[in-house]
Amino acid sequence: MIQRFKENEVDYENWLSEHPTGFVFNHFGGSLVQYNYNVIHLADCHMLRRPTDEGRRTIIEKICSTDLNVLQQEVKKFREDSYVFCKICTK
């Protein structure tokens, strides 16, 4: 199942807590050539919890799922293959 969070910090933080083994797509948007800004993270990635982003993490849309394949299928609907995996958490 896909969950989307835009300007909804509380529900996003709850989802992260409830699904620590899930996946988060940080959807910056932009053109398809700007793939490196659109990143899939593991839900427990510390990059998703940087203190400097506190209270404004969902200004950038977060698309979340517990199933990586389902998340990738959703992302490909609007990004094609124009995204990357986090180099920190998905090594």
What's the pTM value of the predicted model, to 2 decimals? 0.91
Confidence of residue 39 (pLDDT cuts 50, 70, 90): very high
52 pLDDT above the threshold of 90:
no
Is 48 part of any domain?
yes
Q: If you average pLDDT over every residue of the chain, what do you get?
A: 92
Rg (CA), the chain: 12
The 10s digit of each residue's pLDDT in 60-88 is: 999 999 999 999 999 999 998 899 999 99
pLDDT for residue 68: 97
Range of the domain at 16: 3-85
Is 90 part of any domain?
no
Is 67 part of any domain?
yes
Q: How many domains does the chain have?
A: 1
Task: Decide: residue 74, CB within 10 A, 0-12 exposed, 13-18 middle, 19+ buried.
Answer: middle
Is 91 part of any domain?
no
